[in-house]
């Protein structure tokens, strides 16, 4: 009998192609997702060495980082460098025969939303992409992580990666979440507790009742930000919700293959007694709606809190906090709910799925925004179409939001959707780094419902108060 294994151990074991004496492994990659920003140099590398794409049928490309989110982009992209990158992806997809969703395709969207939506992402797979938020796919019980461009080229050429195994970390969220608390609050709270380097060297498995109770969309939000906690990947064991989400998707198995897949997927859980090198437990009831105050995703506080002082920290974090407060234009002791917001951004691979739009629309219904600018960028063309069908788009538009086309948009501000210096944004995205949303821009990360609440009041707001009003 084999020793008890974690979910990570099982997926790892099933993908080792070759193991060297020093433990270095060649790991097989089932799905390779590609976008326009981190791939041109990799394809160029293939051309220069006369190599080909080993498994084009397992390679999926979609432009998302650079693309404008306004009408007409399928005809022309104004920014020349962006246009060249998108055109390069068009050409590379065609030349190497890989699966492709161009800007003109309704299925186009953020690569981490398109993969699951189209059924490319399946439980037990290894999934990589030249993008750190590849961790998203871990919600399906797939081992998924970001890679650099050299590794993109390596996977294109060999369908493998040279890897050393990470350690196992368990993050358990016990009990249930309270009303107004979401998957985003879970994932931010975990990073707040462990720090942005707390997961370095680990693959995290998220478990516990509160995780089980999340929808697939919520689970993707949780795993998406595993990288912000420093982890190589985040994982959630697949269950009936996972299978129900996957069934019938265009690239999900059908018929006898589905039955065989299902039997295998049901073996994908951590065995009783399996060893974890690190364990973090948080009570679901203790998690509040949270926001970030600083310039690192670990700068997390409940919305009922106040801006901290540098002296509240130790070590290198004292200087970092000083710098953050200065950059963010905040004074220690100030109530978080007194922070005025200029702009609201709802979207990204963290929170650009249908459930996120529903949560925001539920708060916005019949209300008007008080912020200067508010923008919804659905995660894919299909999410956008569904939101229109459900009447959510009209709620956003009536409230004063701009209703945009799918893409990464203001999450990383490579396209024209950017903040101006000093502009303060409540964002459902994943990074509040200096300059992330535009040079000098100030970002507060929060959930879609909290973003909607801030849009209505013009300042950071405890969404639970609005929910109370409605009762």
Partner 1 sequence: MDKFTTLTGIAAPMPLVNIDTDMIIPKQFLKTIQRSGLGKNLFDEMRYTQDGQEIPDFVLNQPAYRQAQILVAGDNFGCGSSREHAPWALLDFGIRCVISTSFADIFYNNCFKNGILPIVLPQDQVDILMADARKGANARITVDLEAQTVTASDGQSFRFEVDPFRKHCLLNGLDDIGLTLEKAAHIDSFEKKVATLRPWA
- The reply to whether 200 sits near partner 1 by the rule CB under 8 A is yes
Residue 392 near residue 416 (C-beta atoms within 8 A): no
Residue 13 near partner 1 by CB under 8 A: no
Q: Which residues of 244-279 are buried (b: 16+ CB within 10 A; e: fewer)?
A: ebbeeeebbbeeeeeeebeeebeebbbeeebebeee
Min dist. Cβ of residue 269 to partner 1 (A): 17
Among residues 201 and 305, whose Cβ is nearest to partner 1? 201
Say whether residue 394 binds partner 1 (CB under 8 A): no
Tokens of 292: 């970030």
Does position 413 interact with partner 1 (CB under 8 A)? The reply is yes
Smaller CB separation from partner 1, 126 or 351: 126
Does the protein bind partner 1 through residue 433 (CB under 8 A)?
Answer: yes
Among 125, 204, 282, 290, binds partner 1 (CB under 8 A): 125
219 binds partner 1 (CB under 8 A): no
Q: Strands 290-292 and 300-302: what pairing?
A: antiparallel
Kindly indicate which of the ranges 103-111, 172-180, 251-259, 390-398 contains the residues binding partner 1, using the contact rule CB under 8 A. 251-259
Structure tokens at 12: 């790892």
User: Could you give the CA distance from residue 353 to residue 65 in angstroms, rounded to a whole number?
Assistant: 17
Minimum gap (Å) between residue 52 Cβ and partner 1:
11
Q: What is the 3-state secondary structure (H, E, C) of 415-438?
A: CCCCCCCCCEEEECCCCCCCCCCC
Residue 383: which residues within 8 A CB-CB, separation 6 or more?
Answer: 109, 113, 117, 352, 353, 354, 357, 406
Q: How far apart are CA 145 and CA 227, in angstroms?
A: 8
Taking the complex as a whole, the smallest distance from the CB of residue 58 to partner 1 amounts, in Å, to: 8
Binding of residue 467 to partner 1 (CB under 8 A): no
Min separation Cβ 103 and partner 1, Å: 16
Q: Indicate whether 253 belongs to the interface with partner 1 (CB under 8 A).
A: yes
Q: Which of 196, 215, 337, 394 binds partner 1 (CB under 8 A)?
A: 196
- Chosen residue from 154, 353, 404, 459 binding partner 1 by CB under 8 A: 154
Of the candidate residues 74, 439, 465, 468, the single one contacting partner 1 (CB under 8 A): 439
Which region among 30-38, 97-105, 167-175, 270-278 touches partner 1 (by CB under 8 A)? 30-38
**Residues numbered 333-392 forming contacts with partner 1, rule: CB under 8 A:** none
Three-class HEC string of 175-241? CCCCCCCCHHHHHHHHHHHHCCCCCCCEEEEEECHHHHCCCHHHHHHHHHCCHHHCCCEEECCCCHH
């Amino acid at each position: 009998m084999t020793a008890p294994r974690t979910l990570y151990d099982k997926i790892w074991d099933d993908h080792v192609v070759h193991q060297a004496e020093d433990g270095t492994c060649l790991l097989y990659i089932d799905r390779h997702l590609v976008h326009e920003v981190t791939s041109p140099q990799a394809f160029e590398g293939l051309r220069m060495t006369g190599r080909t794409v080993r498994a084009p049928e397992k390679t999926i490309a979609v432009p998302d980082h650079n693309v404008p989110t306004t009408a007409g982009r399928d005809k022309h992209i104004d920014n020349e460098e962006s246009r060249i990158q998108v055109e390069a992806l068009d050409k590379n997809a065609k030349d190497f025969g890989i699966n492709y969703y161009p800007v003109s395709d309704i299925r186009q969207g953020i690569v981490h939303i398109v993969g699951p939506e189209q059924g490319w992402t399946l439980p037990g797979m290894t999934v990589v992409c030249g993008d750190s938020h590849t961790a998203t796919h871990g919600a399906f019980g797939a081992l998924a992580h970001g890679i650099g461009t050299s590794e993109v080229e390596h996977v294109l050429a060999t369908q493998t990666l040279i890897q050393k195994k990470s350690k196992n970390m368990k993050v358990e969220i016990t009990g249930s979440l309270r009303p107004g608390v979401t998957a985003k609050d879970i994932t931010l709270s975990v990073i707040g507790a462990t720090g942005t380097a707390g997961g370095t060297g680990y693959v995290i498995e998220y478990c516990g009742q509160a995780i089980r109770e999340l929808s697939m969309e919520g689970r993707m939000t949780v795993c998406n930000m595993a990288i912000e906690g420093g982890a190589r990947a985040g994982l959630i064991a697949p269950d009936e919700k996972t299978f129900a989400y996957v069934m019938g998707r265009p690239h999900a198995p059908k018929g006898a293959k589905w039955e065989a897949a299902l039997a295998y997927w049901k073996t994908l859980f951590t065995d009783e007694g399996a060893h974890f090198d690190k364990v973090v437990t948080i009570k679901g009831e203790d998690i509040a709606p949270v926001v970030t105050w600083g310039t690192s995703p670990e700068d997390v506080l409940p919305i009922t809190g106040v801006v901290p002082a540098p002296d509240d920290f130790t070590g290198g974090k004292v200087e970092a906090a000083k710098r953050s407060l200065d950059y963010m234009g905040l004074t220690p002791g100030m109530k978080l709910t007194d922070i005025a917001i200029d702009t609201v951004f709802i979207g990204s691979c963290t929170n650009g799925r249908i459930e996120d739009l529903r949560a925001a629309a539920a708060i916005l219904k019949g209300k008007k925004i008080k912020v200067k600018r508010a923008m919804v960028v659905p995660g894919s063309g299909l999410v956008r179409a569904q939101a229109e069908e459900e009447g959510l788009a009209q709620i956003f538009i009536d409230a004063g939001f701009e209703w945009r086309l799918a893409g990464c948009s203001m999450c990383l501000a490579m396209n024209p959707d950017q903040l101006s210096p000093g502009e303060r944004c409540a964002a459902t995205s994943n990074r509040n780094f200096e300059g992330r949303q535009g040079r000098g821009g100030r970002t507060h990360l929060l959930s879609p419902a909290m973003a909607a609440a801030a849009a209505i009041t013009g300042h950071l707001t405890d969404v639970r108060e609005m929910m109370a009003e409605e009762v």
